[in-house]
Amino acid sequence: MVGKVGIAQVEITPPVGSSLAGYFYDRKSTGIHDPLYAKTFLFQSGDLLAAVITCDLLALMSETVEEVKWLVKNRLSLPPEHIFVHATHTHTGPATVAAYGVSTDLNYLKNLPQLLLLSVRQALSNLTPARIGFSKGLKSGLSFNRRYLMKDGTVRTNPGAGAAWEKIKGQGNPEIVSPAGPIDPEVVVGKIEDENGILKALLVNFACHLDTVGGNQISADFPSVISKVIHQAKGKDVVVGFFTGAAGNINHINFQTGRLKEGYFAHTEWMGTELGTEVLRVAEKIDCVPLTTVNSAKTILEIPIRKPSASERDFARRVIEAGRRVSQRKREQAHNLFGDEIIWLKELLLVAEEKKEKEEVPVGALRLNEAGFAFLPGEPFVEFGLRIKLESKLKPTFVVELTDSGLGYLPTWEAFHQGTGYEERLSRASKLVPEAGDVITEAVLKLLSSL
């Protein structure tokens, strides 16, 4: 029996004036550079129907995801265990999670589940026989490991970001020895055609933070440019679904050279064009075949939450109550110079005050013919993504972060022992025990092998 695919996209752009998430302060949007979308892809073979939804958002908390799944189950009779909801991690989208001093936009979240339900409903209405194919390309020079070994022996995240950028622009940070980890330059591509060979959609998987834009305008970041490039070549009816790879420690800046395209949206335009061109090159060589195999699996892990010590809590309270600024010297000794120290201490206390001791962590996998999707929660380090691709029996495997939960960073065990970076510092965006990344990776590899 030939499988079917349903495709739909619904705009989810917030109103101008809403808060944007992703930084250590509340930015109010002043305009819309490009709209945000929720894009749904339904895959059916036999009695199994799986839904993959990718949203141009920073992240989605599990409560929002569960509401979406409840609506889809009760309105459309699609089982929750076959639904995967991914956020691309754009830093110029609405505040769908609370972190680092920015509160959630409750009005936006109130309406979002209904919009995602609409996208699934529309995809269901155009479920038709389809052909699919997969391949991958490479694109180096776009993504960089943002953790660096410094001459003083520490490992720093983004050494030279923010106010320090003007000092290293065009020449790099002279205190850097080398990157502290690898990157993943693969561009994984999925191609979907109808029975007559008409291109309907392209699926794109690449590992890099979506934080290339900045500013106060709403934008889907470089995936919006990828879509534009593909639309110019293949027509506007082709739906482009972007899936962010394991990018917890990967971004678009090379701090060793300090080179970046200058001007608003310039680097984003360049990067999206480079990726879009590579996607088109890879897609041209893909021969699609009937969709015959669709299978998915999920599991829920219970992983302990790290808690601060009594002395750490007392220190945080004293500093916050006094309103003192922590000295530069002490910050350099203890942590990466990243963000507002008072906000970090408030984050520590928020984690300490949480009632629960463990986090329910969703992990999922999907098989489409001989290709696989590894759906991971939070922002895993690239090392986990590389291992999954190497060990997965399904080729190629899309490694997709921030699926079904925006639970925060998943650093490697090594990063916790380095202890001077940003991603492993205790906050609501990084609170699981150090072994969490390895436990999640083992679980998703087991799911992939079962399909």
Report how far Cα 422 is from the mean position of its chain's Cα atoms. 17
DSSP 8-state class, residue 142:
S
Element (H, E) at 202: strand 199-206
Q: Where do the structural domains in the chain lie, given as residue ranges?
A: 4-143+180-292+396-401, 308-353
pLDDT band at residue 117 under the 50/70/90 scheme: very high
The residue type of 272 is G
Q: Is the pLDDT of residue 60 over 80?
A: yes
Which of 400, 401, 408 has its CA nearest to residue 433?
408
Name the residue with higher pLDDT: 58 or 324: 58
pLDDT band at residue 320 under the 50/70/90 scheme: confident
**Percent of the chain, pLDDT > 70?**
96
pLDDT band at residue 333 under the 50/70/90 scheme: very low
pLDDT in tens, 177-207: 999 999 999 999 999 999 999 999 999 999 9
Q: Work out the average pLDDT over 286-296.
A: 97
pLDDT in tens, 21-31: 988 788 999 99
User: Which residue matches tokens 């680092």?
Assistant: 100
CA distance 193 to 196: 7
- Mean model confidence pLDDT for the chain: 93
Q: What is the predicted pLDDT for the residue at 420? A: 81
pLDDT in tens, 340-394: 777 888 888 988 998 889 999 999 999 999 999 999 999 999 999 999 999 999 9
Q: Environment class of residue 257 by beta-carbon count within 10 Å: exposed (0-12), middle (13-18) or buried (19+)?
A: middle
Element (H, E) at 248: none
CB-based contacts of 353, cutoff 8 Å, min separation 6: none
pLDDT in tens, 266-288: 999 999 999 999 999 999 999 99
**Buried/exposed 64-86: b ≥16 CB within 10 Å, e otherwise:** bbbbbbebbeeeeebeeebbbbb
User: Which residue matches tokens 């395209």?
Assistant: 261
Q: Helices (DSSP H) in 204-265: which residue ranges?
A: 222-234
